[in-house]
């Protein structure tokens, strides 16, 4: 008897290349996604006996995932993206939205309070460390001209690498298979070979064009990577398609 093929799941994730440089004013990039995930788990536990609320909480999670992808990869104005995200989350019931907002607000305030209390204990040392770091800029005054040139060249080279990484993060996008750890790079570029998006080239139009191409006859003529790219390149709030399955032909 033929063995049923194993399903592999490819998930849409944000583009690679985001800087790991620590900037205290931008640290919310790390905090907010973590808070959103904790809130979802907490709400699912508290309202585990209400399947309708469970479904709405999962929808809010999916909307937030789309928002995180678009804000990095979609060059359209941020105010438009905030509007689209707000319109999407307002589709849930008032109760689900209220519970979600209250939980997000409460956890963010809790984290602020914990960090504020922690930092209050180390302010003296932190200030001294910042003063010591600022003195590094004075090194140039005692370095030889040749060494200064080498330092500037290394700095410029690092900047060029960072710029290239940012370009890949904004333009490429990629998908990741949890089971095999396979990565499909540049899925947006892959998808554009198979779509016809004349006129408007905004995120929504490209998402619709990908959906049309993906659902049109001829999928068997494309490679798995090409079909996965079409399915996941431009996630939208209308179709929260952040994962796609395929048969594992090697099974």
pLDDT of residue 151: 58
**H helices of 47-144, where?**
51-73, 78-89, 94-134
Contact 188, 234 (CB under 8 A): yes
pLDDT of residue 120: 59
Name the helix (H) or strand (E) containing 11: strand 7-13
Residues forming beta bridges with residue 247, ordered by sequence position = 7
State how far the Cα of 16 lies from the Cα of 166, in Å rounded to an integer.
8
Whether this prediction's pTM lies above 0.75 is answered by no
Structure tokens at 81: 């993206």
Structure tokens at 180: 């095999």
Name which of 224, 219, 191, 185 is nearest 205 in CA terms: 191
Based on its alpha-carbon atoms, the radius of gyration of the chain, rounded to whole angstroms, reads 23
Percent with pLDDT over 70 in the chain: 65
Apex 111 CA angle, 110 and 117, nearest 5: 90
State how far the Cα of 163 lies from the Cα of 49, in Å rounded to an integer.
49
Query: Highest mean pLDDT: which of 99-113, 117-131, 156-170?
Result: 99-113
Q: What is the mean pLDDT of the chain?
A: 75
Is the pLDDT at 144 greater than 70, yes or no?
no
Instruction: Give tens-digit pLDDT for 159-193.
Output: 554 444 444 444 567 888 877 878 888 888 888 88
DSSP label at 63?
H
* Of the listed ranges 103-117, 122-136, 170-184, the one predicted with least confidence: 122-136
207 alpha carbon, distance to own chain's centre: 17
DSSP label at 223?
-
Contact 203, 76 (CB under 8 A): yes
The string over 106-140, giving b where at least 16 C-beta atoms fall within 10 Å of a residue's C-beta and e elsewhere, is ebbeeeeeeeeeeeeeeeeeeeeeeeeeeeeeeee
Q: Counting beta carbons within 10 angstroms of the beta carbon of residue 70, is it exposed (0 to 12), middle (13 to 18) or buried (19 or more)?
A: buried
Is the pLDDT at 23 greater than 70, yes or no?
no
Question: In this predicted model, which residue has the larger pLDDT, 139 or 59?
Answer: 59
State how far the Cα of 61 lies from the Cα of 64, in Å rounded to an integer.
5
Q: DSSP 3-state assignment of 165?
A: helix
- Taking residues 222-244, report their average pLDDT: 85
Question: In this predicted model, which residue has the larger pLDDT, 183 or 24?
Answer: 183
Q: DSSP 3-state assignment of 195?
A: coil
DSSP label at 3?
P
Place of tokens 């930092």: 119
């Amino acid at each position: 008897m033929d063995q049923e093929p194993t399903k592999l799941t490819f998930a849409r994730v944000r583009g690679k290349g985001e800087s790991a440089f620590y900037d205290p004013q931008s640290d919310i990039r790390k905090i907010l996604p973590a808070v959103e995930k904790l809130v979802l788990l907490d709400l699912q536990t508290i309202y585990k006996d209400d399947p309708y609320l469970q479904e709405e909480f999962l929808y809010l999670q999916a909307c937030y995932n789309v928002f995180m992808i678009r804000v990095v990869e979609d060059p359209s104005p941020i105010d438009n993206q905030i509007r689209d995200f707000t319109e999407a989350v307002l589709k849930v019931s008032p109760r689900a939205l209220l519970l979600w907002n209250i939980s997000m607000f409460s956890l963010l305030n809790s984290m602020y309070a914990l960090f504020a209390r922690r930092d209050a204990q180390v302010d003296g040392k932190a200030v001294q460390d910042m003063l010591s770091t600022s003195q590094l800029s004075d090194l140039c005054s005692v370095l030889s001209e040749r060494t200064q040139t080498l330092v500037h060249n290394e700095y410029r080279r690092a900047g060029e690498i960072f710029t290239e990484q940012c370009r890949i993060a904004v333009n490429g996008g990629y998908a990741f298979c949890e089971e095999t750890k396979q990565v499909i790079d540049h899925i947006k570029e892959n998808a554009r070979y198979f779509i016809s998006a004349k006129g408007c080239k905004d995120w929504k139009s490209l998402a619709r064009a990908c959906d049309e191409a993906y659902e049109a006859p001829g999928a068997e003529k494309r490679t798995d990577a090409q079909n996965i790219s079409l399915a996941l390149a431009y996630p939208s709030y209308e179709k929260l398609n952040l994962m796609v399955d395929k048969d594992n032909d090697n099974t």
